[in-house]
Amino acid sequence: MRDFLRPIFVLAWKDVLLELRTKDVVTTVLMFALLSMVTFNFAFSPSPDVVALVTPGILWVAFTFAGILGFNRAFALEKENGNLEGLLLCPVSRDVIYFGKLAGIFTFMAVMEALLVPFFAILYNLPVLDPKLLVVAALATLGFSGVGALFSAIAVNTRSREIMLPVLLLPVASPVVIAAVEATRAILDGASWGDVGRWLQLLTAFDVIFLILSAFVFGAVLEE
């Protein structure tokens, strides 16, 4: 188990260090997400009823499209710097490379969400520190990152990767996003663990399916 987890941590830490040094992706993504939230705030009358109805969708739309911007860079930097061939020559299995990239992407999205949620709470005057919301965010982010890691590896070898990634990713990841929106709406309405449980089960099922299938086909994707 240690031999399996160590290279995953090394690959993820490499991506984290690269972003800490450049800060290109974090700056761009945060500005895009903040602009989206502010724009939506001016697009409707922020009465309590309207806020409760539309804010879950606004939150996850911002997370989704900000995540896509980050996914585009996950393998693009490897391709541009010639590191993709080096990854393929590493004496590890292809699923280790997949989980290493997934860990880096998940960390990036988790940090982004942690920075955006307080701003969202202030802008829309909503309680967002509910433990149920943290669980929903963790499960949805894991599933979305898992699919994003696979499709970013596919899109990086195409001529128009910035266009191909959302075209490939969004139809597959839509169940995760929809479940996250519905669960968030229920939580903001004061739902109990039992009421949110069915959405948590749905998110968990999608996570397991996506991660297993993505890890299984990732090796074939890299070889193309």
CB atoms within 10 A of CB 143: 26
Q: Please report, as a single letter, which amino acid is at residue 193.
A: W
pLDDT of 205 reads 92
pLDDT of 141 reads 92
Distance CA 123, CA 120 (A): 5
**DSSP class of residue 163?**
H
Q: Please report, as a single letter, which amino acid is at residue 51.
A: V
Distance CA 87, CA 90 (A): 5
Q: What separation, in Å, do the N-terminal and C-terminal C-alpha atoms of the chain show?
A: 29
Total count of domains within the chain: 1
Give pLDDT tens digits for 41-97. Answer: 676 666 666 666 778 888 888 888 888 877 877 776 666 666 666 666 666 777 788
Residues with pLDDT less than 70, the chain: 1-4, 19, 22-25, 41, 43-52, 76-91, 128, 161, 223-224
CA distances from 172 to 40, 57, 84, 205 (A): 25, 18, 25, 14
pLDDT of 204 reads 93
